[in-house]
Amino acid sequence: MPPERLADLGEFGLLARIRALVGSSYLGDDAAVLPRTAGMELLATVDAQVDGVHFLRERMIPQQVGRRAIAVNVSDIAAMGGLPRFALVSLLLPADLSVAWIEALYDGIRQETVRWEMQVTGGNISGTPGPLTLDVTVLGEVETGCALTRRGARPGDPLFVTGDLGRAAVGLHLLRRGESGSLVDAYCTPVPRVGEGRALLRSRLVHAAMDLSDGLGSDLYRLCEESQVGAVIEVAALPISDAVRVAAATVGLDPVGLALFGGEDFELVVAAASNDAGTLQRVVAEVGTPLTVIGEVRPAGEGVTVHLPDGSKRPLAGGWDHFPGAHA
Protein backbone atom coordinates (compact mmCIF):
# COMPACT_ATOMS: atom_id res chain seq x y z
CA MET A 1 0.00 0.00 0.00
CA PRO A 2 1.48 3.40 -1.00
CA PRO A 3 2.36 5.82 1.82
CA GLU A 4 -0.33 8.27 2.85
CA ARG A 5 0.23 11.66 1.25
CA LEU A 6 -0.78 15.12 2.38
CA ALA A 7 -3.02 15.41 -0.67
CA ASP A 8 -4.92 12.32 0.54
CA LEU A 9 -5.30 13.45 4.14
CA GLY A 10 -6.31 17.08 3.53
CA GLU A 11 -5.79 20.19 5.64
CA PHE A 12 -8.28 19.44 8.41
CA GLY A 13 -7.13 15.88 8.78
CA LEU A 14 -3.54 17.07 9.04
CA LEU A 15 -4.45 19.70 11.63
CA ALA A 16 -6.13 17.03 13.75
CA ARG A 17 -2.99 14.88 13.55
CA ILE A 18 -0.76 17.81 14.51
CA ARG A 19 -2.93 18.76 17.45
CA ALA A 20 -2.70 15.21 18.75
CA LEU A 21 1.06 15.13 18.21
CA VAL A 22 1.93 18.33 20.08
CA GLY A 23 -0.75 17.87 22.74
CA SER A 24 -1.12 21.59 23.42
CA SER A 25 -4.17 22.97 25.21
CA TYR A 26 -3.65 26.28 23.39
CA LEU A 27 -4.65 24.92 19.98
CA GLY A 28 -8.19 24.95 18.65
CA ASP A 29 -9.27 28.61 18.63
CA ASP A 30 -8.59 31.46 16.20
CA ALA A 31 -5.85 32.75 18.48
CA ALA A 32 -4.12 31.55 21.62
CA VAL A 33 -4.72 33.31 24.94
CA LEU A 34 -1.32 33.29 26.61
CA PRO A 35 -0.46 33.96 30.26
CA ARG A 36 1.90 36.76 31.28
CA THR A 37 4.43 36.61 34.10
CA ALA A 38 4.60 39.55 36.48
CA GLY A 39 7.83 41.52 36.24
CA MET A 40 8.71 40.11 32.80
CA GLU A 41 8.78 41.63 29.32
CA LEU A 42 7.82 39.82 26.10
CA LEU A 43 10.48 38.73 23.61
CA ALA A 44 9.45 37.81 20.07
CA THR A 45 11.50 36.42 17.18
CA VAL A 46 10.75 34.77 13.83
CA ASP A 47 12.88 32.74 11.43
CA ALA A 48 12.09 30.89 8.21
CA GLN A 49 13.78 27.60 7.34
CA VAL A 50 13.70 26.79 3.61
CA ASP A 51 14.58 23.41 2.16
CA GLY A 52 17.82 23.67 0.20
CA VAL A 53 18.78 26.96 1.87
CA HIS A 54 18.64 26.35 5.63
CA PHE A 55 18.32 22.56 5.76
CA LEU A 56 18.76 19.61 3.41
CA ARG A 57 15.67 17.42 3.45
CA GLU A 58 17.31 14.73 1.34
CA ARG A 59 20.13 14.41 3.89
CA MET A 60 18.34 15.06 7.20
CA ILE A 61 15.70 13.06 8.99
CA PRO A 62 12.47 15.02 9.62
CA GLN A 63 13.01 15.08 13.40
CA GLN A 64 16.24 17.00 12.80
CA VAL A 65 14.44 19.51 10.59
CA GLY A 66 11.80 20.09 13.27
CA ARG A 67 14.30 20.45 16.09
CA ARG A 68 16.46 22.83 14.07
CA ALA A 69 13.52 25.08 13.18
CA ILE A 70 12.76 25.59 16.88
CA ALA A 71 16.37 25.80 18.05
CA VAL A 72 17.46 28.61 15.73
CA ASN A 73 14.65 30.77 17.10
CA VAL A 74 15.34 29.83 20.71
CA SER A 75 18.93 31.01 20.12
CA ASP A 76 17.64 34.56 19.56
CA ILE A 77 15.84 34.45 22.90
CA ALA A 78 18.98 33.07 24.57
CA ALA A 79 21.08 35.92 23.16
CA MET A 80 18.94 38.40 25.08
CA GLY A 81 19.17 36.44 28.32
CA GLY A 82 15.55 35.33 28.07
CA LEU A 83 13.51 32.18 28.50
CA PRO A 84 11.62 30.71 25.53
CA ARG A 85 7.94 30.05 26.29
CA PHE A 86 5.78 29.56 23.19
CA ALA A 87 6.16 28.65 19.52
CA LEU A 88 3.93 29.27 16.50
CA VAL A 89 4.73 27.07 13.53
CA SER A 90 3.67 27.85 9.96
CA LEU A 91 4.29 25.23 7.28
CA LEU A 92 4.40 25.59 3.49
CA LEU A 93 4.07 22.01 2.27
CA PRO A 94 4.25 20.31 -1.14
CA ALA A 95 1.10 18.24 -1.71
CA ASP A 96 3.04 15.05 -2.42
CA LEU A 97 4.78 15.08 0.96
CA SER A 98 4.10 11.97 3.01
CA VAL A 99 2.02 12.29 6.16
CA ALA A 100 4.56 10.10 7.98
CA TRP A 101 7.28 12.66 7.19
CA ILE A 102 5.16 15.51 8.61
CA GLU A 103 4.38 13.51 11.74
CA ALA A 104 8.10 12.85 12.25
CA LEU A 105 8.79 16.56 11.69
CA TYR A 106 6.37 17.40 14.50
CA ASP A 107 7.98 14.78 16.68
CA GLY A 108 11.20 16.79 16.32
CA ILE A 109 9.35 20.02 17.07
CA ARG A 110 7.88 18.38 20.16
CA GLN A 111 11.30 17.13 21.30
CA GLU A 112 12.83 20.59 21.10
CA THR A 113 9.94 22.43 22.72
CA VAL A 114 9.83 19.92 25.59
CA ARG A 115 13.57 20.41 26.06
CA TRP A 116 13.05 24.14 26.67
CA GLU A 117 9.72 23.75 28.50
CA MET A 118 7.85 25.50 25.68
CA GLN A 119 4.44 24.93 24.16
CA VAL A 120 3.27 25.10 20.56
CA THR A 121 0.39 27.58 20.64
CA GLY A 122 -0.58 27.95 16.99
CA GLY A 123 0.56 28.38 13.42
CA ASN A 124 -0.66 27.88 9.89
CA ILE A 125 -0.54 25.37 7.04
CA SER A 126 -0.44 26.16 3.35
CA GLY A 127 0.32 24.22 0.22
CA THR A 128 3.19 25.38 -1.97
CA PRO A 129 4.60 24.45 -5.38
CA GLY A 130 7.98 25.60 -4.14
CA PRO A 131 10.36 24.22 -1.53
CA LEU A 132 9.11 23.04 1.84
CA THR A 133 9.35 25.93 4.31
CA LEU A 134 8.94 26.20 8.07
CA ASP A 135 8.29 29.69 9.40
CA VAL A 136 8.56 29.66 13.19
CA THR A 137 7.82 32.41 15.69
CA VAL A 138 9.05 31.99 19.25
CA LEU A 139 7.82 34.08 22.16
CA GLY A 140 9.89 34.36 25.29
CA GLU A 141 10.21 36.53 28.34
CA VAL A 142 12.92 38.35 30.24
CA GLU A 143 13.02 40.37 33.42
CA THR A 144 11.77 43.90 32.80
CA GLY A 145 14.56 46.27 31.82
CA CYS A 146 17.23 43.55 31.90
CA ALA A 147 17.35 42.19 28.31
CA LEU A 148 20.80 41.85 26.76
CA THR A 149 20.98 43.85 23.52
CA ARG A 150 23.46 44.66 20.76
CA ARG A 151 23.77 48.24 22.05
CA GLY A 152 26.18 49.18 24.79
CA ALA A 153 29.60 47.81 23.77
CA ARG A 154 32.35 50.29 24.67
CA PRO A 155 35.89 50.80 23.35
CA GLY A 156 38.24 48.77 25.52
CA ASP A 157 35.71 46.02 26.25
CA PRO A 158 37.03 42.53 25.61
CA LEU A 159 34.97 40.47 23.18
CA PHE A 160 34.05 36.95 24.26
CA VAL A 161 32.48 33.99 22.52
CA THR A 162 30.86 30.93 24.08
CA GLY A 163 31.87 27.42 23.07
CA ASP A 164 33.87 26.99 19.88
CA LEU A 165 33.46 28.02 16.27
CA GLY A 166 33.25 26.36 12.87
CA ARG A 167 31.55 23.13 13.99
CA ALA A 168 28.29 23.63 12.10
CA ALA A 169 29.98 24.94 8.96
CA VAL A 170 32.26 21.95 8.59
CA GLY A 171 29.38 19.72 9.69
CA LEU A 172 27.34 20.91 6.72
CA HIS A 173 30.13 19.88 4.36
CA LEU A 174 30.30 16.47 6.01
CA LEU A 175 26.51 16.13 5.80
CA ARG A 176 26.63 16.76 2.05
CA ARG A 177 29.15 13.91 1.82
CA GLY A 178 26.69 11.60 3.58
CA GLU A 179 28.65 11.48 6.83
CA SER A 180 27.36 11.63 10.40
CA GLY A 181 28.73 12.42 13.86
CA SER A 182 28.93 15.26 16.35
CA LEU A 183 29.97 17.89 13.81
CA VAL A 184 27.03 17.01 11.55
CA ASP A 185 24.79 17.17 14.63
CA ALA A 186 26.10 20.69 15.31
CA TYR A 187 24.56 21.74 11.99
CA CYS A 188 21.39 19.62 12.03
CA THR A 189 20.41 20.13 15.68
CA PRO A 190 22.18 23.18 17.13
CA VAL A 191 21.97 23.72 20.88
CA PRO A 192 20.85 27.25 21.84
CA ARG A 193 22.83 28.82 24.69
CA VAL A 194 19.82 29.43 26.94
CA GLY A 195 21.56 28.61 30.22
CA GLU A 196 24.57 30.66 29.23
CA GLY A 197 22.40 33.62 28.28
CA ARG A 198 20.62 33.47 31.63
CA ALA A 199 23.96 33.33 33.45
CA LEU A 200 25.22 36.34 31.50
CA LEU A 201 22.06 38.29 32.29
CA ARG A 202 22.18 37.46 36.00
CA SER A 203 25.81 38.59 36.19
CA ARG A 204 24.79 42.19 35.31
CA LEU A 205 28.24 42.55 33.72
CA VAL A 206 27.36 42.38 30.01
CA HIS A 207 27.43 45.53 27.90
CA ALA A 208 26.23 43.94 24.63
CA ALA A 209 25.48 40.47 23.25
CA MET A 210 24.06 38.64 20.24
CA ASP A 211 24.02 35.14 18.79
CA LEU A 212 26.14 34.01 15.86
CA SER A 213 23.85 32.74 13.13
CA ASP A 214 25.35 34.19 9.94
CA GLY A 215 28.99 33.96 11.02
CA LEU A 216 31.25 36.14 13.14
CA GLY A 217 32.30 38.04 10.01
CA SER A 218 28.73 39.27 9.52
CA ASP A 219 27.27 39.29 13.01
CA LEU A 220 30.04 41.25 14.71
CA TYR A 221 29.44 44.07 12.24
CA ARG A 222 25.82 44.18 13.39
CA LEU A 223 26.77 44.42 17.05
CA CYS A 224 29.32 47.14 16.26
CA GLU A 225 26.82 49.07 14.16
CA GLU A 226 24.23 49.05 16.93
CA SER A 227 26.83 50.03 19.54
CA GLN A 228 28.52 52.54 17.20
CA VAL A 229 31.96 51.06 17.80
CA GLY A 230 34.67 49.14 15.97
CA ALA A 231 36.40 45.91 16.92
CA VAL A 232 39.50 43.79 16.38
CA ILE A 233 39.48 39.99 16.40
CA GLU A 234 42.62 38.04 17.29
CA VAL A 235 42.73 35.09 14.90
CA ALA A 236 45.10 33.18 17.18
CA ALA A 237 42.54 33.39 20.00
CA LEU A 238 39.58 31.92 18.09
CA PRO A 239 38.34 28.74 19.82
CA ILE A 240 38.58 26.09 17.11
CA SER A 241 38.49 22.46 18.23
CA ASP A 242 40.87 19.79 17.01
CA ALA A 243 37.85 17.97 15.55
CA VAL A 244 37.04 20.98 13.37
CA ARG A 245 40.66 21.34 12.25
CA VAL A 246 40.88 17.67 11.27
CA ALA A 247 37.52 17.69 9.48
CA ALA A 248 38.36 20.94 7.68
CA ALA A 249 41.57 19.38 6.36
CA THR A 250 39.57 16.36 5.19
CA VAL A 251 37.23 18.51 3.07
CA GLY A 252 39.95 20.94 1.98
CA LEU A 253 38.76 24.00 3.91
CA ASP A 254 40.47 26.56 6.13
CA PRO A 255 39.32 26.14 9.76
CA VAL A 256 39.87 29.84 10.48
CA GLY A 257 37.68 30.73 7.53
CA LEU A 258 34.99 28.39 8.85
CA ALA A 259 35.22 29.95 12.31
CA LEU A 260 34.97 33.51 10.98
CA PHE A 261 32.58 33.11 8.08
CA GLY A 262 30.95 29.66 8.18
CA GLY A 263 27.88 30.64 10.20
CA GLU A 264 25.26 28.54 11.97
CA ASP A 265 27.28 28.24 15.19
CA PHE A 266 24.54 29.81 17.37
CA GLU A 267 27.15 30.69 19.96
CA LEU A 268 26.95 34.01 21.82
CA VAL A 269 29.34 36.92 21.26
CA VAL A 270 29.57 39.22 24.26
CA ALA A 271 31.18 42.54 25.22
CA ALA A 272 31.87 43.41 28.86
CA ALA A 273 34.24 45.55 30.90
CA SER A 274 37.85 44.31 30.99
CA ASN A 275 38.00 44.18 34.78
CA ASP A 276 34.97 41.85 34.76
CA ALA A 277 36.45 39.33 32.31
CA GLY A 278 37.50 36.71 34.85
CA THR A 279 34.23 36.88 36.74
CA LEU A 280 32.20 36.56 33.56
CA GLN A 281 34.20 33.54 32.42
CA ARG A 282 33.64 31.83 35.78
CA VAL A 283 29.91 32.55 35.65
CA VAL A 284 29.52 30.92 32.25
CA ALA A 285 31.88 28.05 33.12
CA GLU A 286 29.48 27.13 35.92
CA VAL A 287 26.92 26.33 33.20
CA GLY A 288 29.49 24.03 31.61
CA THR A 289 30.57 26.20 28.68
CA PRO A 290 33.89 27.97 28.11
CA LEU A 291 33.87 31.71 27.43
CA THR A 292 36.89 32.78 25.39
CA VAL A 293 38.28 36.28 24.84
CA ILE A 294 38.67 36.67 21.07
CA GLY A 295 39.33 40.37 20.69
CA GLU A 296 38.47 43.86 21.81
CA VAL A 297 35.98 46.60 21.10
CA ARG A 298 37.64 49.60 19.47
CA PRO A 299 36.54 53.14 18.55
CA ALA A 300 34.20 53.29 15.57
CA GLY A 301 36.80 55.00 13.37
CA GLU A 302 39.05 51.95 13.49
CA GLY A 303 36.47 49.76 11.80
CA VAL A 304 36.16 46.00 12.29
CA THR A 305 39.41 44.16 11.66
CA VAL A 306 41.17 40.85 12.21
CA HIS A 307 44.67 40.63 13.69
CA LEU A 308 46.58 37.81 11.99
CA PRO A 309 49.31 35.73 13.67
CA ASP A 310 51.97 37.40 11.51
CA GLY A 311 51.11 40.75 13.11
CA SER A 312 49.21 42.20 10.17
CA LYS A 313 45.63 43.49 10.27
CA ARG A 314 42.94 43.43 7.63
CA PRO A 315 39.25 44.30 7.45
CA LEU A 316 36.89 41.58 8.66
CA ALA A 317 34.45 40.81 5.89
CA GLY A 318 32.36 37.79 5.02
CA GLY A 319 29.69 35.62 6.54
CA TRP A 320 26.28 34.70 5.23
CA ASP A 321 24.27 37.24 3.22
CA HIS A 322 20.79 36.26 2.02
CA PHE A 323 21.02 38.76 -0.85
CA PRO A 324 24.69 39.08 -1.79
CA GLY A 325 23.89 40.67 -5.16
CA ALA A 326 22.64 43.76 -3.34
CA HIS A 327 26.24 44.68 -2.54
CA ALA A 328 27.77 43.87 -5.91
Residue pLDDT tens, the chain, 328 long: 556 776 676 676 777 777 777 766 667 778 888 888 999 999 999 999 999 999 999 999 999 999 999 999 999 999 999 999 999 999 999 988 898 999 999 999 999 999 999 999 988 889 999 899 999 999 999 999 999 999 999 999 999 999 999 999 999 999 999 999 999 999 999 999 999 999 999 999 999 999 999 999 999 999 999 999 999 999 999 999 999 999 999 999 999 999 999 999 999 999 999 999 999 999 999 999 999 999 999 999 999 999 998 888 998 876 555 444 433 3
Cα-flanking dihedrals φ and ψ of residue 214, to 5°?
-100, 0
CA 275/CA 229 separation, integer angstroms: 19
The count of other CB atoms within 10 Å of the CB of residue 279 is: 13
pTM to 2 decimals? 0.92
Same domain, yes or no: 303 and 168:
yes
Alpha carbon distances (Å) from 159 to 139, 238, 292: 28, 11, 8
What is the greatest pairwise CA distance in the chain?
Answer: 68
User: Is 230 found in the same domain as 138?
Assistant: no
- Residue finishing a domain among 116, 143, 170: 143
Question: To 10 degrees, what angle do helices 194-203 and 62-79 make?
Answer: 10
> Please, which residues bridge with residue 137 across strands?
46, 88
Asked if residue 265 is part of any domain, the answer here is yes
Give the CATH number of the domain where residue 86 resides.
3.30.1330.10
| Crossing angle (nearest 10°) for helices 167-176 and 242-251 | 40
pLDDT at 16: 75
The residue range of the domain holding 166 is: 158-319
Are 191 and 307 in a shared domain? yes
Q: What pLDDT score was predicted for residue 325?
A: 45
The verdict on 164 and 242 lying in the same domain is yes
